[in-house]
Amino acid sequence: MHGDPIPFCITPFAYNIKTRAIYFDCTFGVSFLVVIIYGIANFKFRSFLKHLQPTANTLNLEAKRRMLISLSVIMVLYILTQLATFVTLLSSQIFLALNSYMDLIYHFLGVLMALNVSSNFVVYWWRNTEYRKVFVQLLHRFGKRNAIFVNAAK
């Protein structure tokens, strides 16, 4: 069972033990770099806001501050899902007694990864009015385009 392909196909689970170990290392490295780069950008932006004098451009800075909060929420979700995935997969590699539960663990991790990917849309929709406006405009354009195709097909 352990090391065999499983029916739930996600990158870290579809290969053998050696490639999973490589995936762990790469995922950990990329996650670490993402958190470090985001932390530096967050720190610089907050220090920039502390020393800023109020001007007519303050509304633009308020939008950037809201964007930073949205990105912070996304980063927390990213960190939590990546950490849970990494710890679970690492523990399944270390504790062989978990082998009988691997299908259940893999399905749980698949849901966790899907949550990680789909949560960005929800956070952007919740935090950003411009995002909502553009999304609604795209839906209207898509709806009009499909209406043309439907009418042409009749």
- Per-residue pLDDT reduced to its tens digit, 11-69: 555 556 676 677 777 777 887 888 888 888 888 877 877 777 666 566 677 777 777 77
pTM recorded for the entire structure: 0.56
pLDDT of residue 3: 56
- CB-based contacts of 72: which residues, under 8 Å, 6+ apart? 42
DSSP 130-141: HHHHHHHHHHHH
Residues 3, 16 contacting (CB under 8 angstroms): yes
Confidence grade of residue 152 (pLDDT, cut at 50, 70, 90): very low
Provide mean pLDDT across the span 103-112. Answer: 74
What CA–CA distance (Å, rounded) separates 132 from 13? 35
Residues 12, 84 contacting (CB under 8 angstroms): no
What CA–CA distance (Å, rounded) separates 8 from 64? 39
What CA–CA distance (Å, rounded) separates 100 from 104? 9
What CA–CA distance (Å, rounded) separates 154 from 151? 5
Task: Locate the domains of the chain by residue range.
Answer: 11-127
